[in-house]
Structure 1
Amino acid sequence: MLPRILTVAVLAGCTTSVAAWGAAGHEIAATIAQIHLHPSVLPTMCEILNFTSKNPNEPQCHLAPVATWADKLRYKMRWSASLHYVGAVDDHPSQTCAFPGTRGWAGKQGGNVLGAIRNVTNILEDSVYYGKAGKLSAYEYDAANEALKFLIHFMGDMHMPLHLTGRDRGGNSDKVLFSGRQTNLHSLWDGLLIAKALRSVPRKYLQPLPSPKIEYALRGTIYDSYVRMIMWEGVLGKWANEIPSWLTCPAPARSHVRALSFPSSIAEFWQQALFVWSRVTGAMDDTDDDLICPYHWATPIHALNCAIVWPKALDEPPYNNTRLDGASAASSHHECVDPATELAQMDRAGHFLAGPKGGPYLELDTPEYSGAISKQWIIEKLLAQAGIRLAGVLNYLFADFEDAEEAKLWSRGLRIDF
């Protein structure tokens, strides 16, 4: 079978690894996803999320406010911590990027972000089926609510490169400097690079775009101008011809693992979820089909760790002895930091306020590192891919197309009016 584009996604002519990202990155990706939703999707999603705005001038609900829910629940649902990332045992960027490598994934087998995306998608697919049949109980609505919030978050996580490598807890153990401020490589990608990018958005994007569809999805946040820039110059500009390939999935060798019958209670929901996750290894044959393919989408994102994310200098004197020791794997994921807090760490010129220095630590706010990332629009492209792929999955799950022809038009972006 030839590869095919996700037929219910929105994008082709409108002309997505974080997670993940800190709060700003997750919310930006969710906002981009909302821009690309089919009109019939939001009412169903708002019902599942149990929120509908009474303001006629704004959408019924927004995805962004729930985009970090899964991070906040990590400490209450300890078993879910490993679902935010995936790491290969043989992975050692910048020299070797193995995905997954001969010895498989680090951590619990199947308990990773790729298997998690597959599983919550299956659960939501079942909820749509049973919902149309009028058979969803209150418990089942709660299960679908949690599965949807997990999906919104996990799609963001998958697009942050350091959430895909097993080395040094995804860079959490590697101290670096950014504009003189001590941090670690993971935190730099979680929020500091985005915070600096927000400071450099041209002032013209403070004004609304001539696109009601884009403006309707914005919420008056500190990153609205950044979303406008990504959409206008990226999605509608330099990446317009690439976007169909972002949603393309190769045909898998065999069918992916399915969830069991839809649960009758929250307890049964999580019991089934844990059972299915324990069976999903995270390799392509287990997670990917010809419509949704987290392993296929994540592979080139993971390769960025060797291409640019992981500095070679961290393995060379004098910086190869600055790695943190004794940090537990359970604390490998980032803390959720508000975008305004991240920006408060910078002065008016966009430079980070200096913190305590140790080291020596490698400075990464340089033309060769942060400058190259900015120039190549790497962060912006990852956020766009996360949002667009999330929209594709949500449209697949919830869109009510009139016929196959309408679905085909949407998959080519011919029905998108920005």
Structure 2
Amino acid sequence: MITMFQKKRIVFFVLICFIPHVLSWGFVGHQITAAIGQRFLSPDVYQKVLELLPKEAHGNLSYIAAWADQIKHKAEYRFTSPMHYTNPTPLIDNPPSHCGFDWNAGKVDLITAIHNYSNRLDPNSDLSFWPRAEALRFLVHFIGDLHMPLHLTGRAKGGNGLRAIFEGHSTSVHAIWDSSIIYKRIREFNENATFDPNFTEDGSRFNSSDPLSGGPFYDLYLDYIINLMLTTWRKELTHWTFCNVDFKLSPDLPLSSPDQLYFSSTNESSDHFSLLMNQKISFSTACPEYWAVAINRLNCQVTLNGYDPKLDLSIGEYYDRIVNEKVIEKLLAISGIRIAAVLNTILREKKDSSK
């Protein structure tokens, strides 16, 4: 006799097995970066974010993180399609042989979109509620897109034209990095997990009111990344907000930068946020054109390094390096920190300079 508890456990793991083939980074990957970002928001900024979230979000920034993917095929939003990626000049960027990033401020792309929606979210923009709420949705999503390396190269349409094998399935390199690797990592963390009886039959929680709860599929993985940020990568967190910084995969390598985004707060109740406090102010809210340089380089170092269309990339040296160097986890963590950095900068209380 199978108990209800056992039925829920079976449903949960069946869903986990099928997820990689039906969803994309645009779903869970973006939700994870938003959940990380929310944990590093200052308390006052979180309240302002809360005002821009729909009621059904229950205070979760992750709820709107994939919205930009969900609406981009609608007629009124088709103009946003080029905003999800940017293509450097092929002459300087042809991974894996050579990687390079350049940007033309006059074109509609991912970099321009981040700057545009940063400005539209600003309370001083004088925009009404919906344009600013819409800007929050786009901004959180596009900062996430920036940290998927294949969104920063035009080679084979960002890897969409490169056929590959992953877990025995025919796919593309882009799909592997958009979804397959991250879902494989989530499954690996959930395989030995104790099943939570608070999951409903469809895999969702009975109680979804906790604004810091990621969701049934990735809670353990999210906790693992947060733990890395508070331990192994603790000294790197503020460095990730620098402009013109070349971040490393190895945690013990030094980082330096002349510019840093503003973080400050008179309320230290958030332990996560207090890790990022400093007094240096940057003139720009976001600097995606600088951040993109190091991320683009990963296409030569990792993404297409060792790519072979005849090999199953879910096993062997290719996948092992991604896991051992925590490449996906670090990209998600850096993206989350930068989401927090930008939102804390845009939405913080501005001091009256006339006093």
**TM-score normalised by structure 2 residue count:** 0.72
Note the C-alpha offset of 1:292: 2.0
Note the C-alpha offset of 1:51: 2.6
- Counterpart mapping for 1:308-387 below 5 A: 308-314=302-308, 319=309, 361-387=310-336
Q: Alignment partner of 1:40: what SS? A: helix
Which deviations, in whole Å up to 9, do the C-alpha atoms of 1:36-77 show, x marking residues without a partner?
A: 111112222222234377xxxxxx511111111101111112
Query: What is the aligned length?
Result: 278
1:47 aligns with 2:51: yes
Amino acid at match of 2:46: L
Gaps of 5+ in 2: 1-23, 197-209, 246-256, 258-281
Note the C-alpha offset of 1:189: 0.4
Of 218, 241, 244, 2:213 maps to: 218
Note the C-alpha offset of 1:164: 0.4
Question: Which residue in the other structure is 1:92 paired with?
Answer: 94
The CA RMSD measured in Å over matched residues stands at 2.9
Whether the 8 Å contact between 1:175 and 1:184 is mirrored in structure 2 is yes
Amino acid at match of 1:96: H
1:110 aligns with 2:110: no
Question: Which residue in the other structure is 1:70 paired with?
Answer: 68
**Distance in 1, Cα, partners of 2:181 & 2:115:** 29
Gaps of 5+ in 1: 1-19, 54-59, 208-214, 253-287, 320-360, 405-418
Which deviations, in whole Å up to 9, do the C-alpha atoms of 1:278-303 show, x marking residues without a partner?
A: xxxxxxxxxx9554211111211110
Amino acid at match of 1:304: L
Which deviations, in whole Å up to 9, do the C-alpha atoms of 1:249-296 show, x marking residues without a partner?
A: 2599xxxxxxxxxxxxxxxxxxxxxxxxxxxxxxxxxxx955421111
Displaced runs of 4 or more, over 3 A: 202-207, 288-291, 311-314, 400-404
**Distance in 1, Cα, partners of 2:130 & 2:299:** 37
1:297 aligns with 2:291: yes
Whether the 8 Å contact between 2:48 and 2:347 is mirrored in structure 1 is yes
- Comparing 42-51 with 175-184, greater Cα deviation is found at 42-51
Note the C-alpha offset of 1:204: 6.8
**Percent of aligned pairs with the same residue?**
36
Of 8, 29, 33, 1:29 maps to: 33
Q: Alignment partner of 1:170: what SS? A: coil
Which deviations, in whole Å up to 9, do the C-alpha atoms of 1:99-142 show, x marking residues without a partner?
A: 12xxx66xx952111111011101112xx1266xxxx5xxx211
Note the C-alpha offset of 1:379: 0.1
Of 105, 118, 121, 2:118 maps to: 121
**Distance in 2, Cα, partners of 1:205 & 1:113:** 40
Question: Which residue in the other structure is 1:236 paired with?
Answer: 230
Note the C-alpha offset of 1:199: 1.7
**TM-score normalised by structure 1 residue count:** 0.61
**Distance in 2, Cα, partners of 1:298 & 1:196:** 26
| Structure ranking higher on relative contact order (CA contacts 8 Å, 6+ apart) | 1
Whether the 8 Å contact between 1:206 and 1:225 is mirrored in structure 2 is no
**Distance in 1, Cα, partners of 2:194 & 2:211:** 15
Question: Which residue in the other structure is 2:345 paired with?
Answer: 396
Amino acid at match of 2:322: I
